[in-house]
Chain A
């Protein structure tokens, strides 16, 4: 036991001290944060500038309303659009366009809009400009024009635009989740789906990442030939489980750092409002507790199997082929969230959440969506612990023999023999 702890400490410090751990731990949430916040941030940061446009209104009665509609102002209070009209008729259009094209060319104006006479019927106008990628501005112009034209059409049939707008207003269906104690909880499908998915992806990624790290570390152990020195001091089991616990602790450390980071972000997010605040406001300590519990169980189970694979392989390439079935089990669990989220208490969800390969992710998902009966949670933990012990025993047997085998990779029959012998 004491010797195992020495191994745990070595494996732990060895990884935590590595630059790659620091980079991964810090960069991970930063990248994630960037993905969430970047669009909003960029949107906010991109400075809005004045747009100078000219309008050729061949319909004649569109320009005046369009000008009113585009009376937006920038943050500093100046108008967003500087808009003027060039009055020409169809015969002068080509000449006018030639002049305006030159103005666009010389950046005197940002662009010009040609409104054809049949716009109320056809609903088409053309914008000429250099920077036609400024979607935000173009959409704004399009919306203004649409409103004007729709208003004109309604008016021609004797209807009032604002009245019609009021009449066709849709309905928002708000969802309230009724929880166990008859309480109502705000939070729609979107929220449950998104938060479940986020947690599931995290579970999946960390279990896979650190599980494979255990496998790597065992292959490395075979290649650096330290193993025999170690085995003259401690039992193979001390080494195997020391490695698994050491690497698992690294994963927990990473979570702790992310948790701290998250708390700070949440505090900031709450003041900021928006989806982050909603997510943060709905998180409970119970959810986080279950998350850690199922990470630990899932990691121990999968890492133990990855360790067994590492014991019989000499290179990462060899291991990659052998680990495929196990990785597929893990992948399967992230393919079922839709089914489980829709019917978290179905027989399918219940059964699958009690199969060790799938328990960590599926049971956590169920807890997140609709709290299952306590006995099912307890049963899942018991099943996981038994499964871990069983996998641990098998792995230890393979490890004991495989760790000293250099060279040829043993075939399935040989591995079976090791399992029986030990």
Chain B
């Protein structure tokens, strides 16, 4: 669907994207994650042909980007705006028309979408009459109105309240179910981690980690289980898979042996008493990001290391 091969983009004084490669298979929601300034937006801009890479090759749908290909892609840039004086319906139709839609089709779909995002009745209002969040919904609608096969969303939820964020997430999942490939780029890793099937973590223009979200989570899941258990904790500790049990009243923190399956331990615990809560200690994407960067000896911007759940 999208393949980026050894792409490099240099600006005066720094390298924004450094020998970066990526392949995105069709029909997934793909997360392009990393802190501000990691090179996400530059990568996307190169993919959309807005800027040219200094080195490397980018192909979409198996061919280099061309004008006709652009009509099969939807792009919500990070730097986005609307013509302030234009009427909302006219604006959506204009953006749809330059994606190759006829004005009639565009008007029909625009009506449906405005209803979907709770903006029915605003058709003839000028853009400037809308709040920022509302404008953002218009931009989102304009990005997908031509029913693209691939959408690239750069920080799609920035500035949205939780309700509207959920609305957009629902639409994104629907699109994926209909076969659209969605590429989500954001620095808010936690916000999208439940949405993405595959992710790529970027830092300083280089790939840190890539793969299926579940695999990555598994790989980085800590071997610690926290549980509420009424039974004999010492008996649990005797189990060969268990290395150590720390007791906090009924709450236990169980450290498993290297490579042990938490499921086996759970079954064992259920034999010996009641389990009210069982949670495998999962590392957040942000922690995984930091751990991986550190492990590779890479540099980390101070604020990323500190900010935790930024």
Contact = CB atoms under 8 A, between A and B. Distances in A.
Interface of A: 3, 6-7, 10, 14, 224-235, 404, 406
For A227, A231, A404, the residue with the greatest tally of chain B CB atoms inside 10 Å of its CB is: A231
10 contacts: A10-B94, A14-B83, A224-B84, A228-B80, A229-B80, A229-B81, A232-B48, A232-B70, A404-B50, A404-B51
B7 interface: no
Contacts of B95: 229, 233
Given A224-B83, A235-B67, 11 more contacts: A225-B79, A225-B80, A226-B81, A228-B45, A228-B79, A229-B80, A229-B139, A232-B70, A233-B98, A234-B67, A404-B50
Contacts of A224: 81-84
B234 interface: no
Contacts of A232: 48, 50, 70, 73, 75, 77
A233 B99 contact: yes
Nearest to A224: B81
A218 B48 CA distance: 21
Interface of A is mostly: helix
B50 A228 contact: yes
Contacts of A234: 67, 70, 98
Contact of A229 (B51, B84, B85, B142): B142
Contacts of A406: 79
A6 B82 contact: no
A409 to B, nearest CB: 15
Contacts of B49: 231
Nearest to B103: A6
Interface of B: 45, 48-51, 67, 70-71, 73, 75-77, 79-86, 94-95, 97-99, 139, 142-143
Nearest to B127: A224
Most chain B CB neighbours (cut-off 10 Å) among A226, A231, A235? A226
A235 B76 CA distance: 17
Contacts, number: 58
Question: Of B73, B95, B139, which is in contact with the most chain A CB atoms at under 10 Å from its CB?
Answer: B95
Nearest to A231: B50
A371 B217 CA distance: 83
A10 B76 CA distance: 21
| 5 closest A-B pairs by CB | A225-B81, A232-B75, A228-B77, A233-B98, A224-B81
Contacts of B70: 232-234
B67 A229 contact: no
Given A224-B81, A232-B50, A14 B86 contact: yes
A404 B45 CA distance: 11
The winner among A224, A229, A235 for most chain B CB atoms within 10 A is A229
B82 A226 contact: yes
Q: Which of A10, A224, A227, A233 has the most CB of B within 10 A?
A: A233
A235 B50 CA distance: 9
B13 to A, nearest CB: 13
B48 A6 contact: no
A226 B83 contact: yes
A224 B86 CA distance: 12
Most buried by A among B51, B76, B97: B97
A225 B82 CA distance: 7
A234 B94 CA distance: 12
Contact of A14 (B77, B85, B139): B85
Contacts of B99: 233
Contacts of B97: 6
A343 B97 CA distance: 54
Contacts of A10: 94
Contacts of B94: 6, 10
A14 B77 CA distance: 24
Contacts of B51: 404
Contacts of B77: 228-229, 232
A406 B77 CA distance: 15
Contacts of A226: 80-83
B101 to A, nearest CB: 10
A158 B50 CA distance: 97
A227 B79 CA distance: 9
Question: Counting chain A CB atoms within 10 Å of each CB, which of B84, B86, B94, B139 scores highest?
Answer: B94
A229 B83 contact: no
Contact of B98 (A3, A14, A225, A404): A3
A228 B48 CA distance: 10
A33 to B, nearest CB: 31
A230 B98 contact: yes
Contacts of B48: 231-232
Contacts of B45: 228
A224 B51 CA distance: 19
Nearest to A236: B50
A172 to B, nearest CB: 58
Contacts of A7: 98
A229 B78 CA distance: 10
Contacts of A404: 50-51
A226 B139 CA distance: 10
Nearest to B139: A229
A230 B97 CA distance: 11
A227 B81 CA distance: 8
Contacts of A227: 79
B47 to A, nearest CB: 10
Contacts of A3: 98
A123 B31 CA distance: 101
Nearest to B95: A229
A227 B95 CA distance: 11
A230 B86 CA distance: 15
